Amino acid sequence: MNEKTLALIWQNRLFDPAGLHTTQGEPVQVVKTGYTNTMSGPDITDAQIRIGDILWTGNVELHTKSSHWTLHKHHLDHAYDNIIMHVVFEDDAPLTDRRGNYVPTLVIQYDKAIDDRCHQLLNQQNPHLCPAGILELNTFNSLTFTSRLTIERLQQKSELIRKTLETTQGDWLQTFWQYLARSFGFGKNSTPFELTAQSLPYNLIIKNYDSFTTVLALLYGQAGILHSGKYKGSDCETLLQEYKYQQAKYSLSPIDHSIWKYSGTRPQNSPFVRMRQLASLVATNTPIFDKMLACTDIEQMESLFTIKNNNEIPPLGADAKHLLIINLVCPFLTCYAQYTGNSDLAELAVDILEKLPPEKNSLVETKKKAGLSIQSAYDSQAAIQLDTAYCKPRRCIECQIGRHYIAGKIL
């Protein structure tokens, strides 16, 4: 058993409340278990515990063994001076705070079936599926749980965008350009697309917006594929000469072309095709980021990725457009909403996810077979977050489904 399990038992009052007493024999009544502290310092804040005749309000520290108090050097840390209770599974050493004062210690007893359920969850062969029957109830399908997972996923993506924004010195256009390019890798070539965009300042795209040839030459050139011999198109020489001119003018350095993946790639996902599609979308005098911020519905967002009047470039299909909206547009709307304080943008992101159909991939299908009801992109994003953030890394104790199961609330 670990501290996360102890926290689960404490917060959900899964311990035996009868006859509680400190290791010094003082009677204990837990009035309020308090709140989990996600920052540094004690594990629990704002708890209320009656020890003897006195009602104490303050912080609680959780350890599997009381000796861990000293092991973690809490006896030297002033942040632990106001601990009202030290809760443990095993009392194996006396302890005091920094000032030498006795710290009340409570050893809790609990149903050992909790150990079995923890073991079952954490040692299941397939981390993507909960034990049989666990998803047959409506825990996941509750609006609260689904919403928490989807918002959590949006927040995580938003945080990544903010970190990239720091590297671009607050340049939203360059940041969006890098994420847009990465999205056009559609998984297999996401990294080389992103590196290409990082090596190519977006202001050069804007300067040459009226020349599709120049924009395409810059992309192909910075991707390293013009010199690699991989591209055999009829316009290869034209693009090469244009790129050499732009490269000399702006002192550009291409990325290593060897990182591109060609084998096993469907024709429509070829880097050459995707790069032409990307060039067609960004070769415009209005930054695509500004266009995105002006969108108010799905149709307008789909139009962002519509390739018009060019028979030589295959259009993006509906599924590809929806993936771009789900994984690019909605996270950027969320991040920009936080940056500007415009809550309307955040609400728009959620509304769009609720209206778009769910993604089509093996992970979503696996969760459907496990019993999840996935009717929209909002649901599929929740399912993906559940799997990638909790199931795969086996963070079962931190998952609402896992906590319910361990607590015996799912039978």
Establish if 283 belongs to a structural domain: yes
Q: Which of 99-103, 264-268, 287-291 has the highest mean pLDDT?
A: 287-291
The reply to whether 346 falls in a domain is no
pLDDT in tens, 161-194: 999 999 999 999 999 999 999 999 988 899 999 9
Q: Are residues 299 and 196 in the same domain?
A: yes
The tokens for 20 are 């509680």
The pLDDT of residue 309: 64
Predicted confidence at residue 128, as pLDDT, reads 62
pLDDT score of 8:
83
Examine the fold and report which residue of 87, 110, 133 is the final residue of a domain before the chain moves on: 110
Domain annotation covers residue 363? yes
Per-residue model confidence (pLDDT) at position 129: 61
pLDDT for 212 beyond 60: yes
pLDDT given for residue 411 in this prediction: 40
CB-based contacts of 92, cutoff 8 Å, min separation 6? 65, 66, 67
Q: Residue 264: its pLDDT value, please?
A: 77
* Residue 362: partners with Cβ closer than 8 Å, 6 or more residues away: none
Q: How far apart are the first and last CA of the chain?
A: 22
> Is residue 340, in this structure, part of any structural domain at all?
no
Do 209 and 86 lie in a common domain?
no
pLDDT of res. 82:
87
Same domain flag for 177 and 308: yes
Domain count, the chain: 3
> What pLDDT score does 308 carry?
77
Does one domain contain both 106 and 117? no
Asked if residue 408 and residue 370 are part of one domain, the reply reads yes
Question: What are 295-352's pLDDT values in tens digits?
Answer: 999 999 999 999 876 667 899 999 999 999 999 999 999 999 999 999 999 999 999 9
Q: pLDDT tens for residues 50-64? A: 999 999 999 999 999
Only one residue has tokens 């032409």, namely: 276
349 within some domain? no
Q: Using the 3D structure, point to which of 110, 128, 156 is the last residue of a domain.
A: 110
Residue 144 within any structural domain of the chain: yes
Give the structural domain span for 269: 172-316
For residue 410, is pLDDT > 70? no
The mean-pLDDT minimum among 75-89, 292-306, 313-327, 359-373 falls in 359-373
Domain closes at, from 316, 335, 365:
316
In a domain, 326, yes or no: no
pLDDT at 135 (0 to 100): 52
Residues 25 and 92 in one domain: yes
Kindly write down the DSSP assignment for every residue of 8-52, as one continuous string: HHHHTT-B--TT-BBTTS-BEEEEE--EE--SSS-SEEEEEEEET
Is residue 100 located within the same domain as residue 134? no
Region 375-397: what's the mean pLDDT? 89
**Which pLDDT belongs to residue 267?**
78
Same domain, 193 and 274: yes
Task: Tell me whether residue 341 is in a domain.
Answer: no
160 & 61 share domain: no
Both 190 and 308 in one domain: the answer is: yes
Average per-residue pLDDT in the chain?
89
Considering the domain architecture, whether residues 178 and 158 belong to the same structural domain is answered as no
Percent of the chain exceeding pLDDT 90 equals 64
For residues 222-238, average pLDDT: 90
The yes-or-no verdict on residue 146 having pLDDT over 90 is no
Residues 151 and 276 in one domain: no
Provide CB contacts within 8 A for 162, sequence distance 6+.
Answer: 335, 339
pLDDT confidence of 136, banded at 50, 70, 90? very low
- Which is more confidently placed, 132 or 124? 124
| Cα(66)–Cα(81) distance, integer angstroms | 16
Beta strands 44-51 and 105-107, pairing class: unpaired
